[in-house]
Amino acid sequence: MRILITGSAGFVGSHLVERFLNEGHTVIGVDNYISGQVSNTDLFREHPRFTFIEADVSHGIPYTGDKLDWVMHFASPASPPHYQQFPVETLMVGAQGTQNGLELAHAHGAGFFLASTSEVYGDPHVHPQPETYWGNVNPIGVRSCYDEAKRYAEAITMAYHRSRGVNTRIIRIFNTYGPRMRPDDGRVITNFVHQALRGEPLTVYGDGSQTRSFQYIDDLVEGISRLMMVKYHKPVNLGNSDEFTMLELVGIINEVLVSVDYVMEDYFPQDDPKKRMPNTIMALNLLNWMPSVSIREGIHLMAQQFAK
């Protein structure tokens, strides 16, 4: 297959490139490096079936090659410090970027695969969150540049599916971690692993009782690959429902990596959800998918890469 991936130099995008190349597909990567990393393009630059286009997909996708089988839209700043630094760009890649991907897929008769997010559930009142939950998002909050952009991206994807017959997929990605995350990503596992490897105390925001579930990147990529093979157009959650408080995570880091202390910081980011956990029954029924990498194993794998 010939697969175009926007955000190919990002964390998730680069793992998709690797998977598809390993499976024998031809991959066109597109990124503008607003939050992607050149090093993630360099990994594949010499590969005979990989092509890279440096472009901002919000302003168009300048692909003029052979017929595509898939357009996978994974471009977007995704961590709070990044999207809050680029609020307008984040909004645009959700709207114009998604639409440009849909138009390209439509023109090629290709499938369109949208990377949406658990952030569409906002600060949820339903726990864990099934795909049918409509969410609780502040449309005018400081996180809304990301959350509303992704909700819009889902809406326009469904509009192209319903009114123009595009063969679409939507996943809602819950917290995912693994090698090739940006060190300044700002999310808790990256922070903890880095701090631990430097022997620094781990920073816990708030009282440490807020919970998160963490999915290892290989599990996500497997779920994406399976969903491409199934004709299902509504959103599918992909995430790990093993839930940990921040303080439990501190304990796991101590157990798996190195013994470090932690410090609590009073600051609690605005509109930060207190609790989020996927209901993944849909992915189990539809794709026979469930996450297989434990948090201990995943943190170990991730630390190995950072230590290199």
Interface with a second copy (CB under 8 A): 87-88, 91-92, 94-96, 99, 120, 122, 134-140, 142, 144-145, 147-149, 151-152, 154-156, 158-160, 162-164, 170, 234-235
Which lies closer to a second copy via its Cβ, residue 40 or residue 144? 144
CB 16 → a second copy: shortest distance, Å? 23
Angle at 3 between CA 225 and CA 17, to 5 degrees: 65
CB 58 → a second copy: shortest distance, Å? 10
Asked if 218 and 178 touch (Cβ cutoff 8 Å), the reply is: yes
CB 27 → a second copy: shortest distance, Å? 28
Which lies closer to a second copy via its Cβ, residue 119 or residue 219? 119
Specify whether 121 is catalytic.
Answer: no
Q: Whole-angstrom Cα distance, residue 234 to residue 231?
A: 10
Which lies closer to a second copy via its Cβ, residue 5 or residue 145? 145
Q: Whole-angstrom Cα distance, residue 220 to residue 43?
A: 20
Which lies closer to a second copy via its Cβ, residue 162 or residue 198? 162
Residue 82 CB-half CA count within 13 A: 19
- Report which secondary-structure segment, H or E, holds 212: strand 211-213
Catalytic residue among 83, 121, 146, 216: 146
**Cis check: omega of the bond before 179, within 30 degrees of 0:** no
CB 56 → a second copy: shortest distance, Å? 15
Burial of 229 (0-12, 13-18, 19+ CB in 10 A): exposed
- Active-site residues: which are they? 146
